[in-house]
């Protein structure tokens, strides 16, 4: 039984001793997760396709207060294209040469895919609007958002199982609210891929439970990222003005985008609470209450 002091937030959510990997950790939601983990004591490896982005993130966002014993570190590793098994195998070997274990993998790499507009009641016009999408674009979207998530998790299972039991090793998959609604948002391929990512999370949570590894997912709503805003600044960050979420074809009850702090809370909760497995945490400002499937 816990004493009152043991339930202090610094004890509940400290990540001291955790060794983490974040794919797509240089920008967007992956960067938010990286900052949250490092700020609370974790050693965080970040990987992605662009080495210069990873190095800039580590330099710009690595914890700066050397007197704070709770702070961890951000370490760029790779580069790694998560759609290529040979890259993942190389990354796994490199981490194994440096670390005895991983306690958390955050699968945050993703792409938006092509857009097709169904906003017409004329079937011929709808066909013409949607037929412009390419099969290769659909396949590429699925490959990054689903297939690579599977292999990015599977390759690190042995390292995750080696983590001390007290760290409650786990995986956090970044899916999307878009995979849980009927609205296409003119992103049929993206939304379909994220629906698959949601179900993949549930399957992995069931099948991997026998290894002692938990698998959960965060389904974000509108958060500022390089993918959503098509750009980043010199710190690999970007703003999302409130008006950007007010013309989406559905209500956003929060009336704004999510914040770095709110994403951080979701990541740290799933990383630390060993009694949660197989959950899809909807971090969406209430959108799915309005348009969920």
Q: Is 194 annotated in the active site?
A: yes
- Asked if 150 and 259 touch (Cβ cutoff 8 Å), the reply is no
Cα 235 from chain centre: 19
- Kindly provide the b/e burial profile for residues 102-127, where b requires at least 16 CB atoms within 10 angstroms of the residue's own CB: bbbbbbbbbbbbbbbeeeeeeeeeee
- Asked if 103 and 163 touch (Cβ cutoff 8 Å), the reply is yes
Catalytic residue (one of 45, 170, 194, 222): 194
What's the rounded Cα separation, in Å, for the pair 187 and 178? 9
Tokens standing for residue 32: 């938010």
What's the rounded Cα separation, in Å, for the pair 216 and 184? 24
Q: Is 98 annotated in the active site?
A: no
Residue 248 neighbours by CB under 8 Å, 6+ apart: 185, 222
Catalytic residue (one of 148, 152, 170, 175): 175
Catalytic residue (one of 190, 232, 237, 257): 190
- Asked if 210 and 161 touch (Cβ cutoff 8 Å), the reply is no
Q: Is 190 annotated in the active site?
A: yes
- Asked if 41 and 64 touch (Cβ cutoff 8 Å), the reply is no
Residues designated as active site: 175, 190, 194
């Amino acid at each position: 039984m816990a004493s009152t002091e043991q339930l202090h937030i610094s004890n509940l959510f400290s990540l001291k001793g955790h060794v983490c990997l974040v794919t797509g950790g240089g920008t967007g939601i992956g960067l938010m997760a990286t900052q949250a983990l490092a700020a609370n004591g974790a050693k965080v490896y970040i990987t992605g396709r662009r080495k210069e982005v990873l190095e800039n993130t580590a330099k710009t966002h690595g914890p700066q207060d050397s007197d704070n014993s709770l702070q961890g570190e951000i370490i760029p590793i790779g580069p790694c294209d998560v759609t290529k098994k040979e890259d993942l195998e190389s990354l796994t070997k490199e981490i194994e040469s440096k670390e005895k274990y991983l306690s958390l993998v955050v699968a945050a790499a993703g792409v938006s895919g092509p857009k097709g507009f169904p906003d017409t009641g004329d079937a011929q016009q709808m066909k013409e609007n949607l037929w412009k999408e390419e099969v290769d674009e659909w396949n590429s979207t699925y490959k990054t958002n689903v297939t690579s998530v599977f292999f990015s998790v599977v390759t690190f299972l042995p390292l995750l199982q080696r983590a001390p039991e007290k760290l409650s090793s786990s995986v956090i998959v970044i899916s999307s609210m878009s995979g849980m609604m009927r609205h296409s948002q003119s992103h049929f391929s993206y939304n379909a891929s994220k629906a698959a990512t949601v179900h993949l999370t549930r399957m992995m949570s069931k099948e991997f439970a026998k290894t002692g590894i938990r698998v959960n997912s965060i389904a974000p709503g509108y958060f500022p990222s390089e993918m959503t805003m098509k750009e980043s600044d010199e710190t690999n960050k970007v703003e999302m003005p409130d008006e950007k979420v007010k013309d989406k074809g559905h209500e956003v009850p929060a009336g704004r985008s999510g914040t770095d702090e709110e994403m951080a809370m979701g990541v740290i909760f799933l990383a630390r609470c060993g009694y949660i497995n197989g959950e899809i945490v909807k971090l969406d400002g209430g959108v799915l209450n309005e348009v969920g499937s």
